[in-house]
Structure 1
Amino acid sequence: MNPPKNVIEQIHQMFAKFFWGSTGSLKRKHWVAWEDMCIPKKEGGLGFRSLHAVNNALFAKLWWNFRTSTSLWSNYMGNKYCKKRHPIVSRSVGATHVWKKMVAIREEVEHEIWWQLKAGTSSFWFDNLTKQGTLFYTEGESARDEEIEVKEFIEEGSWKREKLRNYLSEEMTEHIVINVLPCTSEMNDKAWWMGSSVGNFTVKSAFHLVRHKREQIDYCRNIWIKKLPLKISFFFYGKSGKKELPLMII
């Protein structure tokens, strides 16, 4: 599900009223905007999670499942929306609401999917083989909008250097020959999630990828410390949200 933005904002307002202690007709002052509280403490927030970012992270999970699994659902979506074009360049015109949202989040998560070569079944142009992004985008004007498998560039366990040069720049050709291992196996190529140290997709890692980020604030380290009573920390935090942080913080 993808609730409208105004619905999520109404839920955020309920969260904020609960946090600041509003009851009934009594309205208490919200010293810091909710969106400012939905960032880590070291960046000036409280570490709450924005539902916008959570929603995007869950759609990132859908995109990961679509790209890496062979389930009935992924096959159905592929046959319906990606018959003529690869998933990373397919469009969402006239598509369902779910597919439109998946395509919207695609730009933020697709480059985090790395394909480890096994049998060379990955798309040469559209799958991320080098951990630097797909060749279709990194190679610029020399890229070709055509489906060709990686195994077409491998012979007897080695890269066909001359054929690579016919398709890619000299710099990218050398990078692939030196850094990308042309494994030979009967298994299909394996997808790894680069946002995790073990290669497995997690919603948590996707959340930190898509969430709104800000620069770290030095004085925040002096607000959230164990020796300082929590009530005082919140007082200083509220003042910092109004640009009134006392200079007494050491």
Structure 2
Amino acid sequence: MVENGLGVRNFSTIIDYFYLKMWWNFHNSTSLWANFMRARYGFGSLSNPSRVWRQMMSDKHVVDLHFQKQIYSGKSLFWFDNWLGNGIFVDKVDQIELPDFPINSLFSNMQGRNLPPMQHVFPSNIRSKILDFQVLFTSGRDRIIWNLTSSGVFTTSSAYESLRMKRHKLMS
């Protein structure tokens, strides 16, 4: 499939992919910029955000589809982090009946791999994925991986190809 007839990518689309890269760095980098942005914005929204922040927030759903937490310490949040690869759980249930908690507390408190307080919240396929999750807690921090590359690192080209393939399927 050739973009724009000449194989030239749309410039505004390329800029969007760099905002996606910023969103990735916001979550996964320890750079001065990422630390500043986390200190300034946290993970919420502000009444008067910068243009960069607004653009990052408008495109974040594209990146969030392919983020997954790789669990080491288990400090990632059960409801708000994509740790099973199915998306975040808060989007999959109508009502959260339990407060958010780190994943390591779930597995350290599970007796016999049983989830009685959450049994009715999830469909059986998700319940069984939770129960089958291999817990190998280590001293490293949980990190975000990009599931479109074998290295787990975000690339603008992998994001571009993913969206291009989706558009191609929609046009077919």
State the TM-score, normalizing by the size of structure 1.
0.59
Provide the rounded CA distance (Å) in 2 between the counterparts of 1:159 and 1:189: 25
2:27 match: 67
C-alpha deviations, 1:26-69, integer Å up to 9, x for none? xxxxxxxxxxxxxx23x894432111221111011100011112
Larger-gyration structure (1/2): 1
Matched letter for residue 67 of structure 2: I
Query: Which residue, 84, 89, 103 being the options, matches 1:150?
Result: 103
- Please say if 1:117 is aligned against 2:71: yes
Report the Cα offset of residue 106 of structure 1.
0.5
Alpha carbons 1:153, 1:163 under 8 Å: kept? no
Q: Does 2:118 align with 1:165?
A: yes
Contact 2:90–2:96 (CA under 8 A) maintained in structure 1? yes
Identity of aligned residues (%): 24
> Is 1:183 the counterpart of 2:136 in the alignment?
yes
Q: 1:203 aligns with which of 156, 164, 168?
A: 156
Instruction: Tell whether 2:49 aligns with 1:95.
Output: yes
Alpha-carbon distance, 1:146 to partner: 5.1
Distance 1:75 1:217 in 2: 41
Paired residue secondary structure (1:57): helix
Is the contact between residue 159 and residue 177 of structure 1 (CA under 8 Å) also seen in structure 2?
A: no
Shift of 1:117: 1.0
2 CA distance for matches of 1:217 and 1:111? Answer: 21
Which segments of 5 or more consecutive residues in structure 1 lack a partner in the other structure?
1-39, 219-250
**CA, structure 1 residues 51+134, in 2 after alignment: closer, same or farther (shift >3 Å)?**
same
Aligned length: 170
TM-score (norm: length of structure 2)? 0.82
Q: In the alignment, residue 96 of structure 1 is paired with which amino acid? A: S
Instruction: In structure 1, give the amino acid aligned to 2:137.
Output: T
RMSD over equivalenced CA pairs, Å: 3.0
Q: Which amino acid aligns with 1:109?
A: V
